[in-house]
Every structure is written in C-alpha cells, then in structure tokens.
C-alpha cells in the first residue's frame, strides 16, 4: 500500500506560487536493508522470473571492474536491481495487461556505452502468467572479478510513499534567477537548501530525475523526448557509491508502442 503525502511540509506553493505548476508526483521507494520475498517490490531483492526464460547475461566486449580493467571470460550474469508490482505503485502507468516492472543490470563498467557504468535492461511482466508457468528458482550471480562493487545493490525492502517534488537542475535558469530571492527565504527559515526542501534526490518512480549534473534528457529514435521512469541512487541501505553519489536514471517513451527505454548515469 502506497502512503501519500500532499507535498513537502514547508508550504513552498504558498511561499513561491510559481513553483506550483512545476510540481510533479513521485513515489519515493525508501529502501531498508532486509529480506524481501520474490513476490514483493524490492531493490536488489529476488525477482519473479519465468522458469522458461533464461536469466539475462552480458557479453559486451571490453566491460571490466576496477582495479583489474580485464574483461571477464564469457558472459556475466546480470543482477536484480528493481522489482515493482503495480499494486505498490498505483501512480505508475503499466502497459495494458502487465503489472510487474523489473530492472536488472550488468554490474561492470562499460566503456563503449555513453554512460560508462552499469548496463541496465528493463522488463514488463504479468504476475499471474509467471505463477502459472512457473518461476526460475535459482538466479545466477556474478563471481569475483565479474562485478563492480558500486553497482551491487544490497537487498532492500521498500516503502512506496507518494509526494510532490519540484525541479532542481530542470528549473529553467531565468526562472531560477527570478525566484532566487524568494528561494533564499525558506532556505534561511528552515536552515535547509532548496534541494532538501523541494527535490527528491533519491530512489523513486516518476517525478524529476535525481540529477547530480546538468540535465541530459534522452529522445527516442522517433524524436520524442522520453519521460523519467525511475531513479536508482546510492542510499545508505543499498550499500552502493555510484561515483560521487550520483545515480542511474531510466527513461521511457510512451508515445511509441514498443515502449523504448534509455538510461543516463551521472556522478
């Protein structure tokens, strides 16, 4: 069950009315180290994977883990990162007939990818179909030398919580300059920076990307700007660093029937 809050408890809409139209609903995942079950939403936990579908692996040439910078022989099993059931994130639109979102990635550095980081894959499923056909009982794990520590999430339960957030890097520059004097007022009143007052720079679904650097929104092959699907960031319980506490952000194009996706990494 998703908890819901109307918005930040700081009255930003009243203090800075121009921000109100820029507010977006986002679902914070709030991961906590634990032992999630296979039919539960989780970060880094077990996945409801079909028994008749091979677990994904990565054989990209040149991927490596620090400090060896050697490409492992053969393919490397990907690792579970995010599993979300529609019942836990009702504000996330799922494709018709599907109710499970799964994100896995290869936990190596990929120098030929523009992100030069972990390489993700996204899957949409129907829970009942997997339960009917049977689920994969054993998920292979990468061995020593086949993973980068900063891309290996610790299994965590999640507590989906709906909030309203406002843009950080995506706040138009001219508007930011205009609003800066009024932004400073709540910063001083609550002794918190704007990003702490207004932005959700953490693991979440929807809303704005948790950019650590200037925005780099992807477009699909048809030229549509993709929408932010989810952010994976190194909150403490996940036991990841991801560079200088950056994140991997997943994007989706809902204007294209095949739902193409892309990712960005900043640190």
DSSP letter (8 states) at residue 90 = T
Q: What are phi and psi of 264, to 5 degrees?
A: -135, 155
pLDDT of residue 154: 96
Predicted local confidence at residue 109, as pLDDT: 87
How, if at all, do strands 161-165 and 3-4 pair?
parallel
Q: How far apart are CA 244 and CA 158, in angstroms?
A: 23
Q: Are 226 and 220 in contact (CB under 8 A)?
A: yes
Residues 67 and 145: their CA atoms lie apart, in Å, by 9
Strands 42-43 and 156-157: antiparallel
| Claim: this prediction has a pTM higher than 0.85 | yes
d(CA 58, CA 130): 23
The per-residue pLDDT string of the chain (267 residues; one tens digit each, 9 = 90 and over) reads 455 444 454 668 888 899 989 999 999 999 999 999 999 999 999 999 999 999 999 988 889 888 766 777 678 999 999 999 999 999 999 999 999 999 999 999 888 888 788 999 999 999 999 999 999 999 999 998 889 889 999 999 999 999 999 999 999 999 999 999 989 988 898 888 888 889 998 999 999 998 888 999 999 999 999 999 999 998 889 998 886 667 999 999 999 999 999 999 987
Spatial separation of the C-alpha atoms in residues 214 and 235, rounded to whole Å: 21
For residue 128 the two structure tokens come to 């009942």
Q: Which two tokens stand for residue 31?
A: 């991961």
- Given a contact cutoff of 8 angstroms between Cβ atoms, the answer to whether 57 and 105 are in contact is no
pLDDT (0 to 100) of residue 3:
52
Instruction: Specify the pLDDT at position 5.
Output: 45
Q: Which residues contact 16 (CB under 8 A, 6 or more apart)?
A: 179, 182, 183, 186
Q: Token pair for residue 80? A: 């579970």
Tell me what pLDDT residue 235 has. Answer: 83
pLDDT at 2: 52
58, containing H or E segment = strand 57-58
């Amino acid at each position: 069950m998703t908890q819901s809050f109307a918005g930040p408890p700081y009255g930003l809409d009243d203090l800075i009315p121009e921000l109100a139209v820029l507010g977006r609903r986002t679902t914070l995942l709030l991961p906590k180290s634990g032992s999630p079950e296979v039919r539960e939403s989780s970060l880094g936990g077990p996945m409801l994977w079909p028994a008749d579908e091979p677990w994904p692996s990565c054989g990209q040439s040149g991927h490596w883990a620090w400090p060896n910078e050697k490409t492992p022989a053969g393919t490397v099993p990907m690792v579970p990162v995010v599993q979300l059931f529609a019942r836990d994130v009702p504000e996330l639109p799922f494709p018709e007939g599907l109710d499970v979102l799964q994100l896995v990635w290869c936990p190596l550095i990929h120098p030929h990818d523009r992100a030069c980081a972990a390489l993700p894959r996204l899957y949409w499923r129907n829970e009942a179909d997997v339960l009917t056909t049977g689920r994969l009982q054993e998920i292979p794990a990468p061995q020593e030398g086949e993973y980068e520590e900063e891309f290996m999430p610790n299994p965590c339960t999640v507590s989906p919580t709906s909030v309203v957030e406002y843009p950080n890097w995506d706040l138009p520059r001219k508007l930011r300059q205009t609003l800066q004097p009024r932004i400073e007022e709540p910063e001083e009143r609550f002794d918190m920076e704007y990003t702490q007052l207004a932005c959700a720079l953490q693991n979440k679904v929807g809303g704005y990307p948790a950019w650590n650097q200037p925005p780099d929104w992807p477009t699909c092959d048809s030229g549509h700007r993709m929408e932010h699907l989810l952010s994976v960031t190194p909150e403490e319980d996940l036991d990841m660093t991801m560079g200088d506490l950056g994140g991997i952000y997943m994007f989706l194009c809902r204007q294209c029937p095949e739902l193409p996706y892309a990712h960005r990494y900043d640190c």
